[in-house]
Structure 1
Amino acid sequence: MIRCIAIDDEQLVRDLLEDNIRQLPFLQLIGTYKNALEAYEVLQQEQVDLIFLDIQMPRLNGLQFLQSLQRPPLVILVTAYEQYALEGFNLHVVDYLLKPFSFERFVKACNRANELFRLQHGQPDVQDFFVNVEYTQVKIVVADIEYIEGLKDYIKIHLSSSPQPILTRMTIKAIEEKLPSAAFIRTHKSFLVAVRKITTVKRDLVCIGIKEIPVSEFYKENVTRIINRPEY
């Protein structure tokens, strides 16, 4: 779980950031603040892993605030001024959201922060495994799986590292038993999806980038539970 705060002098932007943050299950909002000075106190009292930080603010702007921190957490800049991008990246920020930004762009920035956070804090041990593909044993790296599609007695394993899925003789129930239950959800009787790969959730779909995976009525509760749960 990534503990985060948002700092912006515009109430509408703070409200938008709060709403967006609450939709991502790997983020926990600690608070929102209208200026950097208000945020100093919470940084001294709370563990903060990520800051959504505006640049143009009265008294102390976002870049000055960031430079003043001895051990800054991960930072995503949120600003209407494109000219600060280079300076921001020189300060090793995670990403740069240019107002007005879409929810999809927000999710992309947060996914990048999530990957960096996981690298910084180490990865849990996950048991990779082999599957039979045309008389050859092919290793499946669990962290590489995006989603799995069931086709009666066969499954297609869709991977981030390959444009072509792996086709192997196995039921979706059997593959589900091999995978960590907290990391994968059934969205449909024929689809098993890696939670951390999901970028957007729609009414009857979850998306991994531009890839759309159906959500059936029977499994909608799984998706709702993932969105609302405080942590994986």
Structure 2
Amino acid sequence: MSINCLIVDDELLARRLLSDYVGKIPELKLAGTCASAMEAQGFLQKQRIDLLFLDIQMPDVTGISLLRSLSNKPVTIFTTAYAEYALQGYELFVLDYLLKPISFERFFQAVSRAVEYINLLNIKVLPPNSGVEAPAPGYIYNEYIFVKSDYKIHKIAHSDIDVIEAYGEYILIYSGRQKIMTLGQLGKMEQMLPRPGFVRVHRSFIVNFSKINAIQGGMIYIGERQVPLSKGYRDAFMELVQKSQLF
């Protein structure tokens, strides 16, 4: 699969260098180059881009402002001469952060991570009860999820998840003492997880039913965590509990 790339940088020499680097990697296909964020915004509205190489400091509109304005963000690698923007890159879930001058070795390292991540995004996931006896090529069983956090792609087994919490535009995944934050919506996460193994108990919480230690009033206890059980989800949740009761 070819990965469509767009290079956005106001410096001609930088665009030429990155174009040369892209041409050396067979998996990449250069869809275009842009000299400004405004030009890139128009380009992105017309053509699907898988991987964006984005400069930060550009006239009029910065790369950070451009990325924040995009509703469907491509996998993005910052290419910049300014190290102080690394935190903002982290907040925007940028995959990597390349400091100029960029060597081909460092570029290749970043692209290898990007290719791996994009390939994972394109894997079709079969539900646990799909009726398919053996995995077909290009498919995986959803016994785990992949999430991007802290410049890494984390593989998390369903059985390791305790609680999932909505946190603004992000999701917090609690697994034992580990907490992973990733960009996403709780509703979409709910659709990815097997049921009734995972249960929505609040507009902001999903719990792993097998990890519940106790239920008291409007509170669910999982390890050291207390998760609220809201009225809107209480009846469906208690029905599952009753089906599991011995007495």
Higher relative CO (Cα under 8 Å, sequence separation at least 6) belongs to 1
TM interval, shorter chain, is 0.5 to 0.7
Name the residue aligned to 1:26: 27
* Alpha-carbon separation, structure 1, partners of 2:113 and 2:87: 18
Partner letter of residue 66 of structure 1? Answer: L
Deviations 1:67-125 (A, max 9, x none): 00011010000000000011101100110000011100000000010011001001782
Contact 2:7 2:53 in 1 (8 A): yes
The answer for the alignment partner of 1:106 in structure 2 is 107
Please report how far the alpha carbon of residue 37 of structure 1 lies from its aligned counterpart in structure 2 after TM superposition: 0.5
State the match for 2:153 in structure 1: none
- Pairwise CA distance, 1:17: 0.4
Q: RMSD over aligned Cα, in angstroms?
A: 1.3
The one-letter code sitting in structure 2 at the alignment partner of 1:125 is: P
CA distance in structure 1 between the aligned counterparts of 2:102 and 2:78, rounded to whole angstroms:
12
The residue aligned with 2:49 is: 48
TM-score, structure 1 length as denominator? 0.53
Would you identify which runs of 4 or more consecutive aligned residues in structure 1 move more than 6 Å? none
What is aligned with 1:175? none
Q: Distance in 1 between matches of 2:121 and 2:115?
A: 10
Corresponding residue for residue 9 of structure 1: 10
Q: Partners of 1:86 and 1:122 in 2: how far apart?
A: 30
Residue pairs, 1:122-201, within 5 angstroms? 122=123, 125=137
Q: CA–CA distance in 1 between the matches of 2:66 and 2:42? A: 13
In structure 1, list runs of 5 or more residues that go unmatched: 127-232
Aligned length, in residue pairs: 126
The equivalent of 2:40 in structure 1 is 39
Question: Max radius of gyration: which structure?
Answer: 2
Structure 2: unaligned runs, 5 residues or longer: 125-135, 139-247
* C-alpha distance in 1 between matches for 2:29 and 2:102: 21
User: In 2, distance between residues paired with 1:83 and 1:74?
Assistant: 21
Percent of residue pairs bearing the same amino acid type: 48
TM-score, normalised by the number of residues in structure 2: 0.50
Helix, strand or coil for the counterpart of 2:4?
Answer: strand
